[in-house]
Structure 1
Amino acid sequence: MEAATPSSASYAWKSIIKGREVIKKCAVWRIGRGESVHVWGDNWLPGTEMNRVVSPCWRGTEDFTVSLFIDQINCKWKEDLLDYYLMDFEAEKIKAIPLSKTQLHDTLIWPHNPNGDYTMKSGYKILQKEFQSQQPGTSNPEASKSLWQAIWKLNVPSKVKNLMWRACRDSLPTKTNLARDRLYEFSNLHNPISASAATPATCWRPPDQGFFKINFDGALFSKENRAGIGVVVRNEEGLVLASLSQQILLPTTVMEVETLAARHALEFAVEIGVHSVILKGDSTILINALQSNNHSLAHFGHLAEDVKYLASCFPRCMFSHVRRHCNKVAHSLARRALTYPHLLVWMEDVPPDVFDVFQADLKGLH
């Protein structure tokens, strides 16, 4: 990453160096112990345009690393230090960054690709976006005004002016634009309008004999800057062993909420002493990550490793995807966390406001 660029460098090498600069500028650190990441100057604050802390840097704190703000024993943020050194809005954003309990190394990831891997295509899109932002456009009327005036003053036929105007507006019937229009028409024609028509007539099913099924789900409450987690554990007869609902701070991505719900689900299963479990969630991306033997570079990858580690605590543990309409009890538990901010647990039961949803699952078994 520190290679030089001599004046005699080839075009290919200069292109590689250009790509390196894009990575340096746009890659983000996923925090583990925080020992490799500087509080000020490094990209590590997700969900912001610059990905960097903008709070004033105190004299003598220039070399502080993020590890200063982490309780390494309990894997939690030191909220009092965050409040002391940083502005309120940044302190709150950092408190919502989930920390792994097993993956303690800091990892540089590429946030512009869902799996965290850098690709030439995603790097090119970043450069293209930067270039377009510097060009005159409808979002900057003053900058484009002189361009349109120059076009309309040209001593050429009106149809030529019109052609130039349409070219600048990217409204010519090019192959790309025509294909986009056709795709839009095809989508409108073939996508079902009714949600019920697209929903298969299936429901929750009990696990095989000897297994316990653990359904989990997450819910987002963006206005309140909170998220909810719901978990329900059931046996082969469909009866509830335990359920929980908990409110947490809203992380940056939906996938982090889902993965935290999965982690809480297995921690809960360990606490209540069940064995041979099937963990089911309605996020295909997460279930695929949990079933993979590879370490994910995605934002939620370190949390997925926590789930895999917890899975090793059971004699048998399987990960399986379930459709949302078969995950209604867990979803309802997650949604109710908006009203009840604390961790709530029900043994051999679900809360009264979720009972009808649970009963519907039981009726579907007959």
Structure 2
Amino acid sequence: MTKSLTVGNLHPEDDHMHAVSEHPSHNESMFFNFFDDALGMGGFVRIGNRPNEGYAEMTFCVFLPSGELLMQWAKPALPSNDVFSAAGLKFKVLEAGRRLSVSYVGEAVRIKDPLEMRQPGKALRGNPSVPTRLKLDISGMGPMIGDRDGTSPDAVIFLDGVGHYQQVIAAMGELSVGEDLWMLNARGVRDHSWGPRQWHSILRDRSLWISFGTDLTFIACKTWLDTERPPDEMGCVIEYDEVTPLRSIGIHSHFFADSYYHDQVVLKVTDVRDRIFTIDGKVLAYVPLRHRKEGRETVYLGQAMTRFEMNGRQTLGLSEYFDAESTVAALISLSRRGEFVVE
């Protein structure tokens, strides 16, 4: 537990870009999720620089109040790892650990039903592209939590061999889509990592980001690297500037019938102070994404705007489910029972 700008061996300067290693899969990425409870909308933006492969990955994904999805994805050439700027999406650090900006200027596809992304090519070609502008002022609402080189397995937020941290944020700004305009007053969590990363290096993952306010945020991640080992668990409770690690993470998932798409989740966590929290989540909107690579099995990434409730408090947040193709058949079979699955 602490009250400082960083937790772990991080420095505030880790908010900036890092030297590129010789590893062919070196990646430096930043991710922001943000949700406005009053408007009933939110989503995430991500840039992943892959300098040794010569390209960046850009994702823009926002769930609109109408139930529609605003989506854009690109893989532009990357001249250097000096900045986060890809296909109209830009992230800037204004004051390390405290203030950042997110902006997007370009086209996005307005998709009537997010589930159309089961066939991404068809969805992106068959729905209208609209002029889109996003401008967010990001404020850190708690410390940067993580490990700067991925060598401290006891770190609260940890990726083996990779610099990584997360931080609770407030996101203020506006989103314009064609003639529609929303003024956003959102909460969420951001993530920054640097080092060797491969989408296909894990088997399954469950990540939940739940911010009820500056006084109470949960980060809970559970990762299965293979079928032989128990899952890795990491996460914490953030109460203002105080960070308490989680000792155990229990996830109970319910899936749409005949699918691996989750529609409900119950998170049961115990922190190192032996406090027990149970949070109920109901998926309001779900987008099925995927990542393909020649010679590797497809991985599926379900991103869901989720209404979370605990002790009478409610908030919107993100539940992210990652499943390698080889695990999907078992989930579909379990979904037909109509029961919660303990994960």
> TM-score interval w.r.t. the shorter chain?
under 0.3
Higher strand share: 2
Higher relative contact order (CA 8 A, sep 6+): 1
Higher helix share: 1
